[in-house]
Amino acid sequence: MRAVVQRVVRSSVSVDGRVVGQIGRGLNVLIGVRQGDTEEQARWLAHKIAGLRIFEDEQGKMNLSVRDVGGEALVISQFTLYGDARKGFRPSFVDAAPPEIASPLIDRFVEFLREEGVPVQTGVFQAMMLVEILNDGPVTIILER
C-alpha cells in the first residue's frame, strides 16, 4: 500500500457537485493498493499515519500527531499512485490491485485508522472526484508498506 499524506488546514472531496467528505485541520490521505497487499499492511499504515508527528508543538517543532492536535483525516482512494510511467508517456497501472481487492482493503484501512482514534471522512471508491486540499506548510509525506 502506498499513501501520500498531506498536513492540511482543510480538505474536501466532491462527487457530481456534492461534497461527500470534508475535514478541518488534519490529514489528507491519498491511498493506493498494489497487487498482493494485505490487511496487515493496511493496519501498519493506519498506525503509522495516526502517530506521524508532523504537526507543530508550542516551540514550532514537528512533534505532534493528528491525534495530539484533535485533527481528522480525509481518505481518498487513488489507484494512480501505482502508475508506472518509466516507459513511454502513458502510465501503466498493472501494479494496482483490481477494484474487488482494493475497495475492501481501503475500507479496512479506514476502520483501522478510526480504531487508532482518528475521525475519518472518505471519498467514493471508483468515482470521479474533485479534491480540494489546502496544504499546511506544505507538509507532504509518502509512506509505503
Contact 21, 121 (CB under 8 A): yes
Q: Residue 22 is placed in which grid cell?
A: 470534508
Q: Whole-angstrom Cα distance, residue 60 to residue 121?
A: 28
**Which of the following is catalytic: 6, 41, 55, 79?**
79
- Is 79 an active-site residue? yes
> What angle separates helix 99-115 from helix 39-51, to the nearest 10 degrees?
40
70-94: burial string, b at 16+ Cβ within 10 Å, e else: ebbbbbbbbbebbeeeeeeeeeeee
**Which of the following is catalytic: 6, 41, 55, 78?**
78
**Which of the following is catalytic: 35, 38, 80, 126?**
80
Q: Whole-angstrom Cα distance, residue 125 to residue 109?
A: 13
Q: What is the DSSP letter of 124?
A: -
Q: Whole-angstrom Cα distance, residue 16 to residue 122?
A: 15
Residues with catalytic function: 78-80
